């Protein structure tokens, strides 16, 4: 077998096979023990690029050489989202079946823009999203479409809502029109920044993104929403879109979806639910009461790449108005015309969003759902919620820590507030917690992140990794306590 690639065409397939086997072994070892690595990359900015050649190779290099560099140069610069002690942001993990799905998808390398460019990709997407909808108890007439992330899903939802207004924005645009009222869009002050970003991208304007106050649980206050809508109507504006979140990014607050649905109906707003993270909890019958009102939404996003063990990226936008979504985005140049598309006997996913070229993402989700089963997925998510609630209980009982928000899902917002610091005021507590965060993350043993809630610096510990167990959460709690004592003893 030759290590020398030919001068044209594909590389030697025996070399590919050998490296491929080696890499599957490597991945299996990695998944068996990601704890051999520090969870947060222990490198400084520029450390990795300094080890890489500044110009590309002119001659072919062998796969073993490339893989050796991957291990020696790239791996030390990786932050390990697969690590069971990854508790930062929303801890999204992939899984072995998801990786195999990605592998096959990369190998097939199809572009699923049209049904005919890979019929199975289109049909598997439709079927898998229908399954997912059933698993999440979504209304059966909703249709889903796979997007890269929730930021895109949120933006596409806004664009669809704008199209539903029938203000001819698709044709005439928004600029320089005296016949167009100011469009107003409502989110809560805790909504994810991507909703606002989507509005900016679509020319709605930041001034027209109205951030509604939240209650003591960080959930949108429907009375404040009603007041804002009425003030805008009185000013001659056009309220058109409201977003409720199930599982906000900072504290996983749950907006009152039924009350928002009532207002959306009363004032004829498009009601979008951002369930990028929390949508997955609808797998659990005991969590479904939080979703009351979501069944009246016009659209909803859920991200299997956040909490359903599907490798990033894969977000799903569901809507009860697929025809409006299509109307917002469909353009049919001659070179993309097909007989079955014209006859409308098939779905061409290019019509349901911005992307023309589309990866075969449904494959990995289908493999994940089949390999774990609905019950297996639900059991894992339920366990993550249990672990987080247990951690929240320890925080609550501790004299040195306090909770800063309720823990309805698997993310705990808390801070250190030892009695000796309490008299020093909020600024000192913020500083202490920032120091604690840096210190625990620097150990490489755990990775947590932070947010601000009502101006207070909050640590965030989110459980969502497929490998996280009781002992990991216990060790994280121990490390936080030990590190706090060290900091206290130095001051
Ligand atoms: C509630 C919510 N919506 C949207 C997003 C954006 O998700 P993505 O990274 O898939 O664009 C996030 C990310 O954490 C989120 O928490």
What would the pLDDT profile of 402-460 be if each residue is shown by its tens digit?
999 999 999 999 999 999 888 889 999 999 999 999 999 999 999 999 999 999 999 99
Atom of ligand 1 nearest to the CA of 305: 10
pLDDT of residue 4: 58
Task: Indicate the top mutation candidate among 194, 197, 272 to test ligand 1's pocket, ranked by most ligand atoms within 8 A of CB.
Answer: 194
Question: What radius of gyration, in Å, describes the C-alpha atoms of the chain?
Answer: 25
| 152 C-alpha to ligand 1 centroid (Å) | 9
Which H/E stretch holds residue 197? helix 193-201
Cβ 277 under 6 angstroms from ligand 1: yes
pLDDT of residue 6: 56
Taking alpha carbons only, the member of 309, 402, 387 closest to residue 87 is: 387
Burial class (CB in 10 A: 0-12, 13-18, 19+), 207: exposed
| 118 C-alpha to ligand 1 centroid (Å) | 29
The span from the CA of 352 to the CA of 273, in Å, is 18
Cβ 249 under 6 angstroms from ligand 1: yes
Please state the pTM of the whole predicted model.
Answer: 0.96
Burial class (CB in 10 A: 0-12, 13-18, 19+), 19: middle
| 346 C-alpha to ligand 1 centroid (Å) | 31
Cβ 117 under 6 angstroms from ligand 1: no
Specify the 3-state DSSP secondary structure of 367.
helix
For residue 360, the tally of other CB atoms under 10 A from its CB is 24
Question: Could you give the C-alpha distances from 215 to 136, 212, 254, 401, in angstroms and in order?
Answer: 27, 10, 11, 23
Cβ 315 under 6 angstroms from ligand 1: yes
Residues in the chain with pLDDT values less than 70: 1-7
Say which DSSP state 167 is in: S
Atom of ligand 1 nearest to the CA of 278: 1
| 151 C-alpha to ligand 1 centroid (Å) | 6
Atom of ligand 1 nearest to the CA of 245: 1
Task: Indicate the top mutation candidate among 199, 276, 306, 464 to test ligand 1's pocket, ranked by most ligand atoms within 8 A of CB.
Answer: 276
Atom of ligand 1 nearest to the CA of 148: 10
| 29 C-alpha to ligand 1 centroid (Å) | 30
Cβ 149 under 6 angstroms from ligand 1: yes
* Helix spans in 54-192 (H): 63-69, 96-108, 119-135, 150-164, 169-172
Cβ 276 under 6 angstroms from ligand 1: yes
Cβ 307 under 6 angstroms from ligand 1: no
Cβ 151 under 6 angstroms from ligand 1: yes
| Closest Cα to atom 14 of ligand 1 | 249
The span from the CA of 441 to the CA of 311, in Å, is 24
Domains and CATH numbers, the chain: 111-359 (3.40.640.10), 369-490 (3.90.1150.10)
Specify the 3-state DSSP secondary structure of 249.
coil
> pLDDT tens digits, residue range 118-164?
999 999 999 999 999 999 999 999 999 999 999 999 999 999 999 99
> pLDDT tens digits, residue range 180-196?
999 999 999 999 999 99
Atom of ligand 1 nearest to the CA of 152: 11
| 216 C-alpha to ligand 1 centroid (Å) | 23
pLDDT of residue 28: 97
| Closest Cα to atom 16 of ligand 1 | 249
Cβ 192 under 6 angstroms from ligand 1: yes
Atom of ligand 1 nearest to the CA of 303: 10
97-126 residues labelled b (16+ CB within 10 A) or e (exposed): bbbbbbbebeeeebebbbbebbeebbebbb
Atom of ligand 1 nearest to the CA of 90: 14
Cβ 156 under 6 angstroms from ligand 1: no
For residue 223, the tally of other CB atoms under 10 A from its CB is 12
| Closest Cα to atom 7 of ligand 1 | 150
| 20 C-alpha to ligand 1 centroid (Å) | 33
Q: Which residues contact 99 (CB under 8 A, 6 or more apart)?
A: 27, 311, 364
Atom of ligand 1 nearest to the CA of 149: 10
| 194 C-alpha to ligand 1 centroid (Å) | 7
Atom of ligand 1 nearest to the CA of 306: 10
Cβ 150 under 6 angstroms from ligand 1: yes
The span from the CA of 458 to the CA of 461, in Å, is 10
Q: At 254, list the tokens.
A: 């749950």
């Amino acid at each position: 077998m030759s290590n020398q690639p030919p001068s044209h065409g594909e590389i030697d397939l025996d070399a590919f096979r050998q490296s491929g086997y080696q890499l599957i072994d490597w991945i299996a070892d990695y998944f068996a023990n990601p704890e051999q690595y520090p969870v947060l990359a222990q490198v400084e900015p520029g450390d990795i690029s300094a080890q890489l050649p500044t110009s590309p190779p002119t001659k072919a290099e062998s796969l073993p050489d490339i893989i050796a560099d991957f291990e020696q140069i790239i791996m030390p610069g990786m932050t390990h989202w697969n690590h069971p002690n990854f508790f930062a942001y929303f801890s999204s993990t992939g899984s072995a079946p998801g990786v195999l799905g990605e592998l096959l998808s990369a190998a097939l390398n199809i572009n699923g823009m049209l049904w005919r460019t890979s019929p199975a990709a289109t049909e598997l997407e439709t079927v898998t999203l229908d399954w997912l909808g059933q698993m999440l108890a979504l209304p059966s007439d909703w249709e889903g479409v796979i997007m890269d992330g929730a930021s895109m899903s949120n933006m596409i939802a806004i664009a669809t809502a704008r199209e539903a207004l029938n203000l001819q924005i698709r044709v005439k645009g928004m600029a320089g029109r005296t016949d167009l009222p100011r469009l107003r869009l409502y989110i809560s002050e805790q909504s994810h920044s991507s909703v606002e970003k989507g509005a900016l991208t679509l020319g709605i304007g930041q001034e027209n993104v109205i951030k509604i106050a939240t209650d003591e649980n960080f959930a949108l206050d429907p009375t404040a929403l009603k007041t804002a809508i009425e003030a805008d109507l009185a000013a001659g504006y056009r309220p058109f879109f409201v977003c409720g979140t199930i599982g906000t990014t900072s504290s996983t607050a749950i907006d009152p979806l039924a009350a928002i649905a009532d207002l959306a109906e009363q004032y004829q707003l498009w009601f979008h639910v951002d369930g990028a993270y929390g949508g997955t909890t609808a797998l659990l019958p005991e969590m479904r009461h939080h979703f009351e009102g979501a069944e009246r939404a016009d659209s909803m996003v859920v991200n299997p790449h956040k909490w359903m063990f599907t490798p990033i990226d894969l977000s799903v936008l569901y809507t009860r108005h697929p025809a409006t979504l299509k109307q917002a985005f469909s353009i049919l140049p001659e070179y993309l015309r097909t007989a079955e598309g014209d006859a409308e006997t098939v779905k061409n996913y290019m019509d349901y969003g911005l992307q023309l070229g589309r990866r075969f993402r449904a494959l990995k989700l289908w493999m994940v759902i089949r390999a774990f089963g609905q019950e297996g997925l639900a059991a894992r998510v339920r366990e993550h919620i249990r672990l987080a609630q247990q951690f929240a209980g320890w925080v609550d009982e501790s004299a040195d820590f306090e909770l800063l928000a309720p823990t309805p899902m698997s993310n705990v917002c808390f801070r250190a507030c030892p009695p000796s610091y309490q008299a020093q005021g909020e600024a000192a507590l913020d500083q202490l917690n920032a120091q604690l965060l840096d210190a625990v993350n620097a150990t490489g043993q755990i990775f947590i992140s932070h947010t601000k809630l009502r101006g207070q610096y909050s640590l965030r510990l989110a459980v969502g990794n497929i490998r996280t167990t009781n002992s990991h959460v216990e060790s994280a709690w121990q490390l936080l306590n030990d590190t706090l004592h060290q900091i206290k003893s130095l001051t």
